[in-house]
């Protein structure tokens, strides 16, 4: 992938755009930020967009706040309008993080892409079991400004309580502190988002990546999977880190249904 990006002047083309999906605790936000920074994607972080609107007290923020607070899905027509506007403003390839989360949103995304005459190169699904997800979420810290995520023991910031990137205060999210809310988020993911993953699997766009282990290990698997999968479709798209690292748990296109109840 990085080779393809270099050959196009350092910026990935719109057709290289990706969607990243993962259950709560899978490290999706961390991986998205890292991949975007390494490969030059326009990182579209749905959670951060919504948090900014809520913090600003905009009319949109006021409408979405009750859903975010309760850990519920935001109504499709409300969210799809926000996302369509953001996608329209992307000048090069985007990395979509936190959207779509249900089939209605996936259909809305299809429609937006069609209107923009744009395609996506693939959909990455991070896979994690519920127990590991719960352990990770218990120590999770989020920066108040941009939603950069840390973990007290697994991924601590350089200075305690302060975001490495923008220096803002780190807080535990209310819904990470509450075990009941966590359970309902995992159930919501299984019921609403897993069907989206299955749909992308059927359309041949899906790449599955195991999300256990350190963030570095997951990033390595992710780039391996991305390079291997995209190079099948686009001969010049290949990550530069070499294929001699072996297969670090990459299972692109496998038919396993990790989250099936």
Least distance in angstroms from the C-beta of 160 to Zn ion: 14
Identify whether the C-beta of residue 94 lies closer than 8 Å to the C-beta of residue 120. Answer: no
Please classify residue 159 by burial: count the beta carbons closer than 10 Å to its beta carbon, then call 0-12 exposed, 13-18 middle and 19+ buried. exposed
CB of 141 to Zn ion, least distance (A): 10
Answer whether 215's CB lies under 8 Å from 238's CB: no
CA geometry: angle at 129 spanning 127 and 133, to 5°? 95
Distances (CA, A) of 23 to 2, 56, 98, 204, 224: 27, 27, 10, 21, 21
Nearest-approach distance from CB 190 to Zn ion, in angstroms: 29
CB count within 10 Å of CB 143 equals 22
Active site residue ranges: 28, 101, 140, 173, 185
Least distance CB 89 / Zn ion (angstroms): 22
**Residue ranges that bind Zn ion, judged by CB under 5 A:** 143, 146, 148, 163, 165-166
The structure tokens 């920074």 sit at 37
């Amino acid at each position: 992938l990085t080779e393809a990006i270099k050959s196009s002047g350092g910026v990935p083309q719109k057709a290289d755009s990706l969607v990243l999906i993962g259950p709560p605790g899978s490290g999706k936000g961390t991986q998205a930020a890292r991949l975007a920074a390494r490969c030059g994607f326009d990182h579209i972080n749905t959670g951060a967009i919504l948090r900014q609107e809520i913090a600003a007290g905009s009319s949109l923020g006021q409408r979405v706040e009750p859903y975010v607070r309760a850990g519920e899905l935001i109504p499709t027509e409300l969210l799809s309008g926000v996302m369509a506007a953001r996608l329209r403003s992307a000048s090069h390839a985007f990395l979509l993080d936190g959207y779509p989360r249900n089939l209605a949103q996936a259909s809305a995304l299809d429609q937006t892409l069609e209107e923009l005459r744009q395609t996506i190169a693939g959909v990455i699904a991070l896979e994690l079991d519920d127990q590991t997800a719960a352990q990770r979420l218990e120590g999770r810290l989020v920066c108040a400004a941009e939603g950069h995520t840390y973990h007290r023991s697994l991924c601590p910031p350089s200075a305690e309580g302060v975001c490495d990137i923008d220096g803002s205060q780190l807080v535990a999210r209310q819904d990470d502190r509450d075990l009941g809310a966590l359970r309902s988020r995992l159930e919501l993911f299984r019921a609403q988002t897993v069907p989206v993953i299955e749909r992308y699997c059927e359309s041949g766009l899906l790449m599955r990546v195991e999300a256990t282990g350190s963030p570095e290990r997951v990033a390595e698997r992710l780039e391996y999977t991305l390079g291997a999968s995209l190079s099948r479709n686009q001969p010049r798209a290949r990550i530069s880190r070499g294929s001699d690292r072996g297969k670090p748990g990459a299972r692109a296109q496998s038919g396993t249904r990790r989250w099936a109840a």
